[in-house]
């Protein structure tokens, strides 16, 4: 039996709106797990055509095909893109990831010392490199 694994990283058109867009549009802080600095190759398009084409290629058999956008971005980059589009700063809170929590519990330090306080991301951060997000229209 032949197989091909299609492995998208993260869908730009769904999750960022839920994680960042909703709170930002409501004037609430955005909560990120961990520091929000890990880069992801987000997919911003329907990958169905890619999947069908890949499965029709013999060289794809027995392979894992990672699907991602052309420029990896972090959650902080996504927040900054929303801030630029909305024209105001967005407060960001972070909570420890599961691995940070386990490391904290295994050490003598307290977890509260490892979490990051709320910060503001400025609308002028050039690190995003052209990432543009369209907030939903409110009619």
pLDDT tens profile 12-46: 777 888 999 999 999 999 999 999 999 988 886 77
How many helices (H) and strands (E) are present in the chain, helices listed first? 6, 9
Q: What is the pLDDT of residues 124-135, one digit of tens each?
A: 333 333 333 333
Strand partners, 39: 74
Side-chain-side CA neighbours of residue 20 (13 Å): 27
User: Would you state the pLDDT for residue 103?
Assistant: 66
Q: Which residues of 67-82 are buried (b: 16+ CB within 10 A; e: fewer)?
A: bebeeebbbbbbbbbb
User: Would you state the pLDDT for residue 71?
Assistant: 84
Q: Which of 87, 75, 72 is nearest to 123 (CA)?
A: 87
Structure letter (DSSP) for residue 3: -
pLDDT cut 70: percent of the chain above it:
70
> Contact at 8 Å (CB) between 17 and 79?
no
CA distance 93 to 71: 25
User: Would you state the pLDDT for residue 55?
Assistant: 79
Question: Span 88-109, mean pLDDT?
Answer: 78
User: Would you state the pLDDT for residue 77?
Assistant: 94
Tokens of 42: 């987000």
How many other CB atoms are there within 10 angstroms of residue 42's CB atom?
22
**pLDDT: is 115 or 30 the higher one?**
30
């Amino acid at each position: 039996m032949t197989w091909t694994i299609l492995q998208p990283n993260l869908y730009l058109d769904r999750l960022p709106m839920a994680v960042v867009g909703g709170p930002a549009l409501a004037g609430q802080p955005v909560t990120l797990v961990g520091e929000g600095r890990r880069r992801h190759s987000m997919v911003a398009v329907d990958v169905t055509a890619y999947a069908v084409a890949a499965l029709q290629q013999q060289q794809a058999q027995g392979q894992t095909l990672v699907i991602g956008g052309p420029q990896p971005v972090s959650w902080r980059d996504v927040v900054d893109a929303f801030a630029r589009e909305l024209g105001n700063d967005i407060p960001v809170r972070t909570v420890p990831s599961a691995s940070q929590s386990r490391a904290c519990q295994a050490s003598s330090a307290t977890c509260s010392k490892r979490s990051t306080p709320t910060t503001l991301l400025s609308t002028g951060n050039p690190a995003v490199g052209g990432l543009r997000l369209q907030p939903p229209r409110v009619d």
